[in-house]
Amino acid sequence: MHKELIVQKYGGSSVANVERIQKVAQRVVNYHKKGFELVIVVSALGDTTDELIHLADKINAEPSEREMDMLLSTGEQISVALLAMAIHKLGAQAISFTGAQVGIITDSSHTRARIIKINADKIKEELKKARIVIVAGFQGVTLNQDITTLGRGGSDLTAVALAKELAADSCEIYTDVEGIYTTDPRIEPKARKIEEITYDEMLEMASLGAQVMQARSIEVAKKFNVPLHVRSSFTINPGTMIIKEVKMMEDVVVSGITLNKNQAKITLCGVPDKPGVAVKLFKDLAMSGVSVDMIVQNVSHTRLTDISFTITKGDRAKASKITKMVAKKIGSSDVLIDEDIARVSIVGVGMKSHHGVAAKMFGIMAENKINIEMISTSDISISCIIKKKFAEKAVKKLHKEFGLDKRG
Amino acid sequence: MHKELIVQKYGGSSVANVERIQKVAQRVVNYHKKGFELVIVVSALGDTTDELIHLADKINAEPSEREMDMLLSTGEQISVALLAMAIHKLGAQAISFTGAQVGIITDSSHTRARIIKINADKIKEELKKARIVIVAGFQGVTLNQDITTLGRGGSDLTAVALAKELAADSCEIYTDVEGIYTTDPRIEPKARKIEEITYDEMLEMASLGAQVMQARSIEVAKKFNVPLHVRSSFTINPGTMIIKEVKMMEDVVVSGITLNKNQAKITLCGVPDKPGVAVKLFKDLAMSGVSVDMIVQNVSHTRLTDISFTITKGDRAKASKITKMVAKKIGSSDVLIDEDIARVSIVGVGMKSHHGVAAKMFGIMAENKINIEMISTSDISISCIIKKKFAEKAVKKLHKEFGLDKRG
């Protein structure tokens, strides 16, 4: 008889201390007793990774990326060993592996390596022995046997890649929230857990500020059509399924609303309205690693115009310095910096087939006297920059008017 | 031109914190600048190993040895990465490796694995690139890619084995003392650092209580004639050379004096003086893992005799239980336990060619009114069990009378 194979990934908060490791072990053993084959991917305990980074920083502020991977990969190695011990304590069979040991082969881009291939023979062998297989997340190894790490959200990627390679029936991502919500429940208590969401919507939400999963793992899951189940390690409730197509009874236009208050707006005033200026500015910004989100160039009534763009706050100093240099060069009158903004976005694949969604969003904002400063749209999302003080109000109104607090 | 190759091993106290890691890095870089090829073996930072053991213990009091090795090997992996970063900071080239990465192949006796072979190609390759090679001590890997650890003193063993495999010109063991002393300087302030000592003497001293190095590494060094230099990482002073033969101007009879206060004496009284009783007792003790040090059976004037033996205090409960069971079976009158004892030993290869050393030792004890309760001798050592209160006095008197505080 074919046994169902589940890949389960437990994040750092799920294994933050001895008690939580024991709880994860109990959950895993319960699944095993039900007859599932299990591959468990684990992150480093709680803040271990941050502590190791801090230790390295005291020794060398610009550590070699190879050595950083050597250092950080120990975090997950500790987790897998402890989880195996906790499972043994409950009387079940389990064996732990590092990324290198199970043949997760990556390129040599240390600290952000890409998985090239996985040789899953060892895992299959152990599954045949009815053992629970525990794999260190976030890490791999080059063909030259150098240890690598996969960058932020790397453990999710390990789980997705293993689920694909092993043709798992399911890939469960355990975290400290119950799933993906229509919006942040701390802002709108009426926010609902979404039962099903498409890869594309989840990707859009991740890039717009939802922090449950990194875009990268979702992209890989989408590419190989690995169904993801995002759920909490603290409850037995089902979470959110991230899948290719959602078949809903109703016609859902907007699936979720995201809010990002970590941006700043920079405006370069009095720019000569001729080609080349914007090119120069955004080239310089890109060259110095500043990632620009939205760009608006005002319609020009005179020979002069304004260019506004948004960046994450962390890049503020760098971006303002570069903009001021460009301003000086072109004889521009002023550079304005506004940190008092927020980006509110609505996301939904339904937008593709529905007209007037943008108009409805703008209408809701207008009715509530919320001025829109910038707009940006994609196939399945619409984002507005507004004053920060209106952020929560905007989220609540949009959540209500698009019917997100009723459905389900 | 042939460059001299040095293997240096730094223990946990030498890399206990950021500042000490930086000091080790500075020392290593200084050697590198002088033109030496360097292979550095490092232990886990300070108390890391104990902390990991404590963590495991909270999860499973009887952890799988394979998982224990998975867990503990992270300690050294952290050390090598941090030391590499510290060396980079000083502008030198260095690269770190786990035991598995440099091909330290062991058997699969987890937590006490034996090195089967070392494939040193990778190290040689990196040395050719003029890089300082840093290797995680205490660990290896089975042919099946399972991570193993080498047991207590394992990092010393890694260093010795690498020195042998690479035909190193020298193997330096860095610790928190300046070398091997004629006796414990905390007992006899006139104790002198020994410049040179033979493997055999060092083995004897290690087994009799000197704690600088584990006997196992010295045995391997002896087997392959790897000269060891035991020295402090906190000074530039030369330490003690452990070598095959010591060529001294003088004829040294006694090289060092050791003291062990961690023993207990058990006496089984009123034993029928016939074959088989002692056999039964010591077989039972051995079966339950109690290691017996000295044994004395009194000369019998009647049909009954006493058997006394010493054990380490940790085995006291187990040993007394077994002895009492044997006593009951043979109808013996009593079992006495004495923890108020100490073992004082003199060690020296010179004893082989000198007569009267034992007589001199016993004479010194008698002159100082120190009663000897038990005696045991080997080719190059003589040990006496005395009352604990006389321990320090005995060490001082022997140190003086055998001329140890004068030489050098």
Domains of chain B: 5-176 (3.40.1160.10)
As to burial, measured by CB atoms within 10 angstroms (0-12 exposed, 13-18 middle, 19+ buried), residue A189 is exposed
Q: Is B100's CB within 8 Å of A100's CB?
A: yes
A193/A63 Cα distance (integer angstroms): 41
Q: Would you call B22 an interface residue with chain A, using a CB distance cutoff of 8 Å?
A: yes
Measured in degrees and rounded to the nearest 5, phi and psi for residue B55 equal -60, -45
A355, B45, B213 from B303: Cα distances, Å = 112, 59, 46
Residue B37 CB partners (closer than 8 Å, separation 6+) = B3, B4, B5, B6, B127
A42/A138 Cα distance (integer angstroms): 9
Q: Is A21's CB within 8 Å of B74's CB?
A: no
| Closest to B85 in 3D by CA, of B16, B163, B24, B43 | B24
Across the interface, of B21, B55, B60, the residue whose CB is closest to A89 is B60
Residue type at A313 in one-letter notation: K
Q: Would you call B101 an interface residue with chain A, using a CB distance cutoff of 8 Å?
A: yes
| Closest to A98 in 3D by CA, of B167, B389, B73, B10 | B73
**pLDDT for A1:** 57
Best mutation target, A22, A70, A111, to test chain B (most B CBs within 10 A): A70
Residues of B whose CB is below 8 A from A89: 59-60
Instruction: Give residue-wise pLDDT tens across range A226-257.
Output: 999 999 998 999 999 999 987 764 567 899 99
Q: Would you call B326 an interface residue with chain A, using a CB distance cutoff of 8 Å?
A: no
Residues of B whose CB is below 8 A from A101: 145-146
- Sorting pLDDT into bands at 50, 70 and 90, what band is A301? low
Percentage with pLDDT > 70 across chain B: 97
B316/B185 Cα distance (integer angstroms): 29
Mean predicted confidence (pLDDT) in A390-396: 96
Q: Would you call A237 an interface residue with chain B, using a CB distance cutoff of 8 Å?
A: no
Query: Could you identify the residue written with the tokens 């984002």?
Result: A383
For the record, the structure tokens of B194 come out as: 């020994």
**pLDDT for A299:** 65
A145, B71, B148 from A74: Cα distances, Å = 15, 9, 15
For the record, the structure tokens of B385 come out as: 């069990």
Q: Would you call B60 an interface residue with chain A, using a CB distance cutoff of 8 Å?
A: yes
Mean predicted confidence (pLDDT) in A295-322: 84
- Chain B residue with minimum CA distance to A98: B70
**pLDDT for A407:** 59
Q: Would you call A295 an interface residue with chain B, using a CB distance cutoff of 8 Å?
A: no
**pLDDT for B48:** 92
Q: Is B55's CB within 8 Å of A86's CB?
A: no
Mean predicted confidence (pLDDT) in B96-108: 97
As to burial, measured by CB atoms within 10 angstroms (0-12 exposed, 13-18 middle, 19+ buried), residue B176 is middle
Q: Is A60's CB within 8 Å of B89's CB?
A: yes
| Closest to B271 in 3D by CA, of B308, B305, B319, B321 | B305
Q: Would you call B177 an interface residue with chain A, using a CB distance cutoff of 8 Å?
A: no
Residue type at A174 in one-letter notation: Y
Residues of A whose CB is below 8 A from B64: 84-85, 88
Instruction: Give residue-wise pLDDT tens across range B53-62.
Output: 999 999 999 9
- Closest-CA distance, B236 to chain A, in angstroms, reads 23
Q: Is A60's CB within 8 Å of B95's CB?
A: no
**pLDDT for B226:** 95
- Chain B residue with minimum CA distance to A100: B145
B374/B296 Cα distance (integer angstroms): 7
Residue A137 CB partners (closer than 8 Å, separation 6+) = A9, A41, A42, A43, A76, A99, A154, A155, A156, A158, A159
A312/A264 Cα distance (integer angstroms): 6
Measured in degrees and rounded to the nearest 5, phi and psi for residue A136 equal -70, 125
Can you give the C-alpha Rg of chain B in angstroms? 24
Helix or strand or coil: residue B96? strand
Q: Is A18's CB within 8 Å of B59's CB?
A: yes
Taking residue A341's Cβ as centre, other Cβ atoms within 10 Å add up to: 20
Helices (H), A288-354: 316-329
**pLDDT for A250:** 56
Q: Would you call A22 an interface residue with chain B, using a CB distance cutoff of 8 Å?
A: yes
Can you give the C-alpha Rg of chain A in angstroms? 24
Measured in degrees and rounded to the nearest 5, phi and psi for residue A161 equal -65, -40
Question: Which B positions 75-94 lie with beta carbon below 8 A of chain A?
Answer: 77-78, 80-82, 84-86, 88-89
**Would you state the torsion angle of the CA atoms of residues A98, A104, A106, A109, taken in this order, to the nearest 10 degrees?**
-20
- Sorting pLDDT into bands at 50, 70 and 90, what band is A224? very high
Instruction: Give residue-wise pLDDT tens across range B110-137.
Output: 999 999 999 999 999 999 999 999 999 9
| Closest to B69 in 3D by CA, of B116, B112, B105 | B112
B105/B245 Cα distance (integer angstroms): 31
Q: Report whether pLDDT(B233) > 70.
A: yes
pLDDT, averaged across chain B: 92
**pLDDT for A40:** 98
A60/A70 Cα distance (integer angstroms): 15
Residue A1 CB partners (closer than 8 Å, separation 6+) = none
Mean predicted confidence (pLDDT) in B366-387: 92
Mean predicted confidence (pLDDT) in B309-326: 92
Best mutation target, B74, B95, B133, to test chain A (most A CBs within 10 A): B74
- Closest-CA distance, A136 to chain B, in angstroms, reads 11
Question: Which B positions 330-359 lie with beta carbon below 8 A of chain A?
Answer: none
Name which of A167-176, A212-221, B22-31, B325-334 the model is least confident about.
B325-334
The DSSP annotation for B281-310 comes to HHHHHHHTTPPEEEEEEPPPSSSEEEEEEE
Q: Report whether pLDDT(A61) > 70.
A: yes
Q: Report whether pLDDT(B397) > 70.
A: yes
Beta pairing, strands A132-136 & A94-97: parallel
Residue type at A208 in one-letter notation: L
- Chain A residue with minimum CA distance to B51: A78
pLDDT, averaged across chain A: 92
Across the interface, of B18, B21, B71, the residue whose CB is closest to A81 is B71
Across the interface, of A59, A64, A77, the residue whose CB is closest to B70 is A77
Q: Is A78's CB within 8 Å of B100's CB?
A: no
β-strand partners of A135: A41, A97
**pLDDT for A351:** 86
Mean predicted confidence (pLDDT) in B254-262: 92
- Chain A residue with minimum CA distance to B83: A59
- Global ipTM: 0.85
Across the interface, of B21, B58, B70, the residue whose CB is closest to A81 is B70
- Sorting pLDDT into bands at 50, 70 and 90, what band is A78? very high
Q: Would you call B105 an interface residue with chain A, using a CB distance cutoff of 8 Å?
A: no
| Closest to B213 in 3D by CA, of B26, B4, B222, B18 | B222
Taking residue B23's Cβ as centre, other Cβ atoms within 10 Å add up to: 17
**pLDDT for A248:** 63
Best mutation target, B17, B19, B60, B68, to test chain A (most A CBs within 10 A): B60
Residues of B whose CB is below 8 A from A86: 59-60
Residues of B whose CB is below 8 A from A55: 18, 82
| Closest to A88 in 3D by CA, of A180, A25, A179, A164 | A25
- Closest-CA distance, A108 to chain B, in angstroms, reads 15
| Closest to B212 in 3D by CA, of B223, B228, B189, B188 | B228
Note if the pTM is more than 0.90: no
Name which of A243-252, B283-292, B302-311 the model is least confident about.
A243-252
Interface size between A and B, measured as CB pairs under 8 A: 101
Residue A352 CB partners (closer than 8 Å, separation 6+) = A379, A380
Q: Is B68's CB within 8 Å of A88's CB?
A: no
Residues of B whose CB is below 8 A from A99: none
Residue B391 CB partners (closer than 8 Å, separation 6+) = B259, B261, B342, B344
- Closest-CA distance, A46 to chain B, in angstroms, reads 14
For the record, the structure tokens of B388 come out as: 């604990």
Mean predicted confidence (pLDDT) in B155-181: 95
Taking residue A392's Cβ as centre, other Cβ atoms within 10 Å add up to: 17
- Closest-CA distance, B112 to chain A, in angstroms, reads 18
Q: Report whether pLDDT(B249) > 60.
A: no
Residues of A whose CB is below 8 A from B84: 64, 67, 70
**pLDDT for B210:** 73
* Cα-to-chain-centroid distance, residue A219: 10
B179/B255 Cα distance (integer angstroms): 14
Let me know: does B32 contact B24? Beta carbons within 8 Å.
Answer: no
- Sorting pLDDT into bands at 50, 70 and 90, what band is A64? very high
The DSSP annotation for A362-380 comes to HHHHHHTT----EEEEETT
Task: Provide the residue count of chain A.
Answer: 408
Instruction: Give residue-wise pLDDT tens across range A250-286.
Output: 567 899 999 999 999 999 988 887 777 778 889 999 8
Q: Which of A48-52, B94-98, B325-329, B373-377 has the highest mean pLDDT?
A: B94-98
Query: Could you identify the residue written with the tokens 């050791």?
Result: B258
Q: Is A96's CB within 8 Å of B70's CB?
A: yes
Residues of B whose CB is below 8 A from A82: 55-56, 59, 71
Mean predicted confidence (pLDDT) in A3-11: 96
Mean predicted confidence (pLDDT) in A327-349: 90
Q: Is A96's CB within 8 Å of B145's CB?
A: no
Q: Would you call B298 an interface residue with chain A, using a CB distance cutoff of 8 Å?
A: no
**pLDDT for B405:** 85
Q: Report whether pLDDT(A135) > 80.
A: yes
Which parts of B201-239 are beta strand (E)?
A: 228-232
Q: Report whether pLDDT(B374) > 70.
A: yes
- Sorting pLDDT into bands at 50, 70 and 90, what band is A337? very high
**pLDDT for B227:** 94
Q: Is A147's CB within 8 Å of B98's CB?
A: yes
Let me know: does B387 contact B340? Beta carbons within 8 Å.
Answer: yes
Q: Would you call B29 an interface residue with chain A, using a CB distance cutoff of 8 Å?
A: no
Q: Is A71's CB within 8 Å of B58's CB?
A: no
B326/A26 Cα distance (integer angstroms): 46
Across the interface, of A66, A88, A98, the residue whose CB is closest to B64 is A88
A285/A283 Cα distance (integer angstroms): 5
For the record, the structure tokens of A360 come out as: 């409805």
Q: Which helix (H) or strand (E) holds A357?
A: helix A357-367
B19/B337 Cα distance (integer angstroms): 47
Instruction: Give residue-wise pLDDT tens across range B39-81.
Output: 999 999 998 999 999 999 999 999 999 999 999 999 999 999 9
